[in-house]
Structure 1
Amino acid sequence: MPSTTYKTSGLKNLEQAIAELGKQSGFKVLTGAMRDAAKPIIKASRDNAPKGNTGKLKKGIRSQVFRGKGKSDSVATLHVGFHRQTSWYGQILERGAKKHTIKPRAKGGKKVLKINGSYRSSTNHPGTKSYPMLKQAFDAQHKNAIKILKQRLKERIILEAVKKYGKSAR
């Protein structure tokens, strides 16, 4: 999945406050704020997703935060995508698929595909057009997500500081 990186500026005070909270508390603040910021993108992605019988594709659009690599403890990466086990086919819908030949897997020594009741040694897949639900949602909601991230960082830093240092932290 193509990725987009945003480096925020004007947040030196927030980064310093996160560092002062310590590694564990700072990362907790950062991950919580990033998950909150991802919510409008996830909602828009689910709204863009095609309606299916099971709803697994919509439910499978999720976010995950990873500890980033950097000089500071206030670095993290947010991924928004499809759950690998329940909605793996979302990536195929998102990007589309080229024409290709489907060959059978060897099961018990037999190399045969069963398609609509008939047996074949291989079949040609015509390919599919892309259905970019994540990209459209990201393009529409990324500015809103950054606003939410800034606001939630401020709120969560205050809450975590109060938990850690008491009311005198304000």
Structure 2
Amino acid sequence: MAKETVLLVVAFAAAAAFLCSCPAIVSARKVGGTCALSRNCDAGLHCETCVVDGNVRPRCTRVTPVDPQSKDRGLPFNRYAWLTTHNSFARLGTQSQTGTAIVTAFNQQDTIAEQLNNGVRGLMLDMYDFRNDIWLCHSYGGACRNFTAFVIKHQPNYTLLRPIPLVDD
């Protein structure tokens, strides 16, 4: 009986080792795969739910914009819809330079540069006079607070807005 138990345990361990070494089984999920957390998804994907689509099961997602001029170049400028991000600076995982934890919505998964490289053509940047300087802030009631302040404009290492092309460039 003990010998059979040992063989059974060895067989189970071998099967577990085989299954864990199989990349198809342990690899992260692709776009559209169901997930519980973002770490279940491949790099660059996030686990999200879109109730508007009637899909309440979280899935690995990644937004991929389309340049409207690639579909039809003959329209006047005001007939195109340009991809714009709300609170473009409010990036997931960003730390506040106030020293306080950010307690507000994180609207973006990408940096400003990544958003522009991915086809975003409109940036909504809420700038506030806070601590006698200009800060990007995801405010409530029109006021910037320690826990909603993302970036100070005049920091020597400030690089958030550098990728934004200016009209004069």
Structure with bigger RCO (C-alpha 8 Å, 6+ apart) = 1
| TM-score band, normalised by shorter chain | under 0.3
- The TM-score, its normalising length taken from structure 1, stands at 0.21
